């Protein structure tokens, strides 16, 4: 026969597991909602499709110089890491961080700063908008 004390221990353990699972689900739901809201805002301000960003960042070699969340093989430190770009005041330290300036920087960096080490990749304006939307969606 199980004593009340042993039974009470199982109830306590179950309660801890249930509360932990609930907290994980609530936090996970909050995280998904926040990511969804960031994505929607990024689309609205940059006019691009953030889902295309990782493939474009890989195709145009951005991962060769930058650490970029969500882009395989992007861990280099030649250029700055690109997470949190939406919170930066300036792009490349030279122009205010606006969607138009970011698209211009991605597309034609030497027009923004002739002395930059960032290469012109040949990315189109439409693709640059997708990359900008992706970068603005990151936190």
Radius of gyration of the chain (CA): 22
Residue 30 is predicted with a pLDDT of 41
Residue 119 is predicted with a pLDDT of 95
Residue 26 is predicted with a pLDDT of 47
Question: One digit per residue, pLDDT tens: the chain, 139 residues?
Answer: 555 555 555 665 555 555 555 545 444 444 455 778 888 888 888 999 999 999 999 999 999 999 999 998 888 888 999 998 888 999 999 999 999 999 999 999 999 999 999 999 999 999 999 999 999 998 7
Strand 95-96 versus strand 90-91 pairing type: antiparallel
Q: The dihedral of CA 39, 42, 43, 44: what is its sign?
A: positive
Alpha carbons 91 and 82: distance in angstroms, whole number = 11
**Domains annotated on the chain, with CATH:** 4-137 (1.10.760.10)
Residue 5 is predicted with a pLDDT of 54
CA distance between the termini of the chain? 54
């Amino acid at each position: 026969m199980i004593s009340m004390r042993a039974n009470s221990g199982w109830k306590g353990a179950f309660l801890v597991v249930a509360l932990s699972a609930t907290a994980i689900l609530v936090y996970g739901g909050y995280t998904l909602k926040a990511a969804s809201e960031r994505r929607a805002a990024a689309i609205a301000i940059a006019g691009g499709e953030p889902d295309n960003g990782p493939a474009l960042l890989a195709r145009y070699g951005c991962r060769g110089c930058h650490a970029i969340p969500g882009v395989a093989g992007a861990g280099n430190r030649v250029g700055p890491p690109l997470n949190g770009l939406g919170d930066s005041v300036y792009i490349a330290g030279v122009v205010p961080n606006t969607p138009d300036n970011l698209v211009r920087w991605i597309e034609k960096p030497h027009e923004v700063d002739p002395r930059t080490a960032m290469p012109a990749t040949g990315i189109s304006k439409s693709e640059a908008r997708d990359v900008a939307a992706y970068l603005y969606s990151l936190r």
